[in-house]
């Protein structure tokens, strides 16, 4: 019996660890190369501004004792090698004389190899830790400034070792500190991104980054929730794969699960419940006089023409169907029609069931995936309490179709117009993004462009 429980526990854990993502991000070798160029440039800029901690030491040679204090400034790095200028103040005490001065230490052929590890922490954030740091120096040369010149050859041979040792120690410690700062910033990064007043996106990692020879893959949860309600949808992501293409820097896979969770979130938040009044009747004036030709009972009840109010309510989350080169949203709901009386109260007239098929068009603007709906088909039926001929039903269908196109769809598109924010790094923008729809998911291929916040128009261009 105990073994059986262990078996079920292991199965449950494996399912949790192998949860399919709603979003996939792939950074290709092209993107990694660009990131390396940007990273090296930022590293050079950062190091040039840094003053490394001073260190002191003492060397004794028979009757000579040398005390020195060294401070590092002006270190210059490149991709493969670096040079540095270090200033040292020295003071020598001997039983013969006392002397002091300065030394300029020139270092060339400085090679720095840094290996860091990226993983997923317990909260789904990206974590970065220093794995290894190695420093090698080709040559160290000394130039005496002041003091007795005869001591130059004596000092240069004995100060090279402590300079190498301390530079190795301090530079790698400095890099470790910087990586710790980056790691702390990554852990503070908001994986829950606000879309608008209705919904939020969970961009947390579901597994650690997968590193391959030609690319790196990130699997993100990609669930959209109503604001303040993080209950998971009653469905799970289906597995999907990104294409074996590497021409772009970044490939982003958006699953139908992500779109369905967005549909459910907006439905739960009431975003598809819309009231159409006379102010929104852009093509015609909504009143009882217009509707009396569609529903004969209106002519008997309303001699005067009163404004009309339409309440549309989705009865289920819009169904998302994602096929090759086509995305369809099916909306099912009810429409209730009210007359607005002079005292601002409303009087129920009739109601019906509506099923609309809309085509979704996708664009990317300002790092956001924008969806806009276009009405394709409409079905309408009156509730049993209201009667009408087939001709009147056709007129009602045409009326509602026109109302949906001219008033309802624009209102929905306006609510969706803020777009779904795409996962991105700070100070980066997408360049030339292309959207391709596939069966069950869509793929965004794009290059990226980095612009430092203090660079103004002098930015780091991608070489595409």
* Residues in Cβ contact with 33 at an 8 Å cutoff, skipping those fewer than 6 apart: none
Task: For residue range 261-295, list pLDDT tens digits in order.
Answer: 999 999 999 888 888 876 554 555 677 777 777 77
pLDDT of 318 over the 80 cut: yes
Maximum mean pLDDT: which of 1-5, 49-53, 58-62: 58-62
Q: What is the mean pLDDT of residues 236-251?
A: 92
d(CA 156, CA 280): 85
What does pTM read for this prediction? 0.73
Backbone torsion region of residue 359, taken as left when φ is above 0, otherwise alpha when ψ lies between -120 and 50, otherwise beta: beta
Coil, helix or strand at residue 292: coil
**Phi, psi (degrees; rounded to nearest 5) at 419:** 80, 165
pLDDT of 242 over the 80 cut: yes
Closest CA to 157 of 172, 142, 167, 169: 142
Top pLDDT among 103 and 312 is at: 312
Closest CA to 87 of 68, 111, 110, 65: 68
Instruction: Give, in order, the Cα–Cα distances in Å from 213 to each of 114, 217, 219, 443.
Output: 18, 11, 17, 22
Beta carbons of 51 and 45 less than 8 angstroms apart? no
Backbone torsion region of residue 32, taken as left when φ is above 0, otherwise alpha when ψ lies between -120 and 50, otherwise beta: alpha
**DSSP type of residue 280:** G
pLDDT of residue 435: 93
DSSP 151-181: GHHHHHHHHHHHHHHHHHHHHHHHHHHHHHH
Q: What is the mean pLDDT of residues 312-324?
A: 92
**Phi, psi (degrees; rounded to nearest 5) at 454:** -105, 5
Count of residues for the chain?
A: 464
Tokens 């039983």 -> residue: 95
Task: For residue range 438-464, list pLDDT tens digits in order.
Answer: 999 999 999 998 876 554 434 444 333
d(CA 248, CA 156): 52
Helix and strand counts by DSSP (H, E) for the chain: 8, 21
Maximum mean pLDDT: which of 83-97, 167-181, 222-236, 338-352: 222-236
> Quick one: pLDDT band at residue 384, thresholds 50, 70, 90?
low
Top pLDDT among 384 and 394 is at: 394
| DSSP bridge partners of 85 | 73, 106
* Residues in Cβ contact with 343 at an 8 Å cutoff, skipping those fewer than 6 apart: none
* Residues in Cβ contact with 449 at an 8 Å cutoff, skipping those fewer than 6 apart: 428, 429, 430, 431, 459, 460, 461, 462
pLDDT of residue 385: 60
- Per the prediction, the chain carries an average pLDDT of 76
> Quick one: pLDDT band at residue 155, thresholds 50, 70, 90?
low
> Quick one: pLDDT band at residue 104, thresholds 50, 70, 90?
low
Q: Tell me the percentage of the chain whose pLDDT exceeds 70.
A: 69
What proportions of the chain, in percent to the nearest 5, are helix, strand and coil?
A: 30, 45, 30
d(CA 416, CA 329): 13
Q: List Cβ<8 Å contacts ≥24 apart for 456-463.
A: 460/37, 460/38, 460/41, 462/34, 462/249, 462/431, 463/34
Task: For residue range 388-441, list pLDDT tens digits in order.
Answer: 566 767 777 787 887 788 778 888 888 777 888 888 766 788 899 999 999 999
Coil, helix or strand at residue 330: strand
pLDDT of residue 153: 57
- Out of 88-97, 191-200, 318-327, which region has the weakest mean confidence (pLDDT)? 88-97
d(CA 191, CA 225): 13
């Amino acid at each position: 019996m105990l073994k059986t429980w262990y078996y079920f526990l292991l199965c449950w854990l494996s399912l949790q660890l192998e949860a399919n993502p709603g979003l996939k991000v792939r950074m290709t070798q092209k993107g990694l190369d660009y990131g390396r160029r940007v990273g090296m440039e930022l590293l050079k800029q950062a190091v040039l501004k840094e003053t490394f901690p001073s260190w002191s030491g003492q060397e004794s040679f028979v009757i000579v004792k040398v005390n020195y204090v060294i401070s590092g400034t002006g270190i210059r790095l490149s991709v493969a090698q670096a040079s540095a200028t270090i200033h040292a103040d020295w003071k020598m005490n001997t039983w013969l004389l006392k002397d002091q001065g300065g030394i300029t230490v020139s270092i060339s052929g400085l090679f720095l190899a840094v290996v860091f590890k990226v993983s997923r922490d317990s909260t789904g954030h990206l974590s970065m830790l220093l794995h290894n740091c190695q420093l090698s120096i080709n040559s160290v040369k000394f130039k005496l400034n002041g003091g007795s010149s005869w001591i130059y050859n004596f000092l240069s041979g004995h100060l090279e070792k402590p300079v190498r040792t301390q530079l190795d120690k301090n530079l790698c410690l400095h890099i470790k500190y910087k990586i710790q700062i980056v790691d702390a910033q990554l852990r503070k990064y908001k994986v829950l991104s606000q879309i608008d007043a209705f919904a939020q996106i969970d961009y947390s990692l579901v597994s650690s980054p997968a590193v391959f020879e030609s690319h790196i893959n990130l699997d993100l949860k990609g669930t959209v929730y109503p604001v303040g309600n993080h209950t998971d949808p009653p469905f799970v992501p289906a597995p999907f794969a990104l294409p074996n293409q590497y021409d772009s820097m970044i490939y982003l896979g958006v699953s139908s699960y992500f779109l369905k969770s967005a549909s459910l979130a907006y439905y739960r938040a009431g975003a598809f419940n819309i009231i159409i009044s006379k102010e929104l009747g852009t093509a015609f004036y909504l009143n009882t006089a217009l509707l009396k030709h569609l529903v004969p009972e209106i002519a008997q009840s309303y001699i005067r023409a009163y404004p009309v109010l339409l309440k549309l309510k989705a009865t289920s989350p819009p169904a998302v169907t994602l096929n090759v080169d086509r995305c369809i949203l099916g909306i099912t709901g009810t429409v209730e029609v009210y007359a607005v009386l002079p005292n601002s109260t409303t009087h129920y007239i009739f109601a019906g069931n509506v099923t609309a098929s809309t085509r979704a068009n996708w664009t990317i603007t300002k790092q956001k995936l924008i969806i806009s709906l276009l009405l394709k088909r409409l079905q309408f039926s009156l509730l049993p309490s209201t009667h009408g001929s087939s001709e009147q039903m056709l007129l009602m269908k045409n009326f509602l179709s026109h109302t949906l196109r001219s008033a309802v769809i624009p209102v929905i598109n306006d609510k969706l117009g803020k777009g779904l924010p795409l996962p991105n790094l700070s100070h980066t923008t997408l360049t030339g993004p292309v959207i391709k729809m596939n069966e069950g998911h869509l793929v965004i291929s794009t290059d990226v462009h980095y612009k430092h916040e203090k660079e103004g128009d002098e930015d780091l261009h991608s070489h595409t």
